[in-house]
Amino acid sequence: MSGRSAPPRSDTPWRADLRRSRQLFADFRVEQTDPARFYGALARDSVGQLSGYLDLRGATMLDVGGGPGFFRDAFEAAGATYWALDADVGELSGQGAIAAGTVIGDGMRLPFRDDAVDLCYSSNVLEHVPDPWRMAEEMLRVTRPGGIAFISYTSWYGPWGGHETAPWHFLGGARARRRYLARHGHEPKNRYGESLFEVTVKQGLDWARTQRLGEVVDVIPRYNPRWAYGLTRVPGLRELVTWNLVIVVRAR
Ligand SMILES: C[S@@+](CC[C@H](N)C(=O)[O-])C[C@H]1O[C@@H](n2cnc3c(N)ncnc32)[C@H](O)[C@@H]1O
């Protein structure tokens, strides 16, 4: 396998600037009506960001909770061999047929051997599993020494923590779920306590500090501009301004 550590590629103009944050936000606003636009943009953004940690050309990667395939297209275009694992057949078939190289399984018990991939990637999944840090450790287990685990999740006290029940999750997840049911006549897609859990920025920082499976390369708010990265050091405020936290670990 290749995928050795590499500096950012010169043809990858990925920059965590304000323009990028604003564009991602604009794309996010049409997530329901035009998912291809939002997820396509997010996938291309991920390729640019990941290219700063390893060379994707020839790298073997696993996308845990990959969903319907937008990320496959972007990572394959960048030269990676892309495997996806997801627990939900309905999610996987959201764009049509399920692509070859897709595995049905549980992110907390990955059906892969140790050191199998150069990159283990997960985007917006940790908050959907009941034991998120077990999933993070599984991701590092399957990443070869020197490879990268990129762990990204929606933080609970961020603006989108409650997903479609936001902003009512600030009054409690169970209450927000009940309110949604009363208003819409059906349960939200992401059901608090079943398929949506409270994962905070502090939990991520604590896990990153105490885990022994790799060297932490970055802990950063995914969508914020670089000048706002320091906010993750401010307790309380960091929970409110971080939509999504990324933990990047180089496996031992
Ligand atoms: C919000 S979607 C994220 C999709 C994609 N990664 C993205 O960033 O757009 C969450 C995904 O996690 C998957 N998922 C939920 N629980 C899982 C589990 N225990 N193991 C693997 N995937 C899971 C869901 O089926 C869904 O496809």
Tell me, yes or no, whether 233 lies in a domain. yes
Tell me, yes or no, whether 181 lies in a domain. no
Indicate the number of domains in the chain: 1
Domain with 210, as residue range(s), is 18-155+199-251
Tell me, yes or no, whether 117 lies in a domain. yes
Tell me, yes or no, whether 31 lies in a domain. yes
Per-residue pLDDT of the chain (252 residues), as tens digits, is: 444 444 334 454 799 999 999 999 999 999 889 988 999 999 999 999 999 999 999 999 999 999 888 899 999 999 999 999 999 998 888 878 899 999 999 999 999 999 999 999 999 999 999 999 999 999 999 999 999 999 999 999 999 999 999 999 999 999 999 999 999 999 999 999 999 999 999 999 999 999 999 999 999 999 999 999 999 999 999 999 999 999 999 999
Instruction: Return the CATH number at 29.
Output: 3.40.50.150
Please tell me the predicted confidence (pLDDT) of residue 158.
Answer: 97
Q: Whose CA is nearest to atom 10 of ligand 1?
A: 125
Locate the ligand 1 atom nearest the alpha carbon of residue 90 and give its number.
25
Q: Whose CA is nearest to atom 3 of ligand 1?
A: 124
Tell me, yes or no, whether 13 lies in a domain. no
Ligand 1 lined by 93 (C-beta under 6 Å): no
Tell me, yes or no, whether 189 lies in a domain. no
CB 238 within 8 A of CB 231: yes
Please tell me the predicted confidence (pLDDT) of residue 7.
Answer: 39
Locate the ligand 1 atom nearest the alpha carbon of residue 152 and give its number.
8
Tell me, yes or no, whether 3 lies in a domain. no
Please tell me the predicted confidence (pLDDT) of residue 11.
Answer: 52
Write the CB contacts of 19 (distance below 8 Å, at least 6 apart in sequence). none
Tell me, yes or no, whether 12 lies in a domain. no
Please tell me the predicted confidence (pLDDT) of residue 182.
Answer: 98
As to burial, measured by CB atoms within 10 angstroms (0-12 exposed, 13-18 middle, 19+ buried), residue 82 is buried
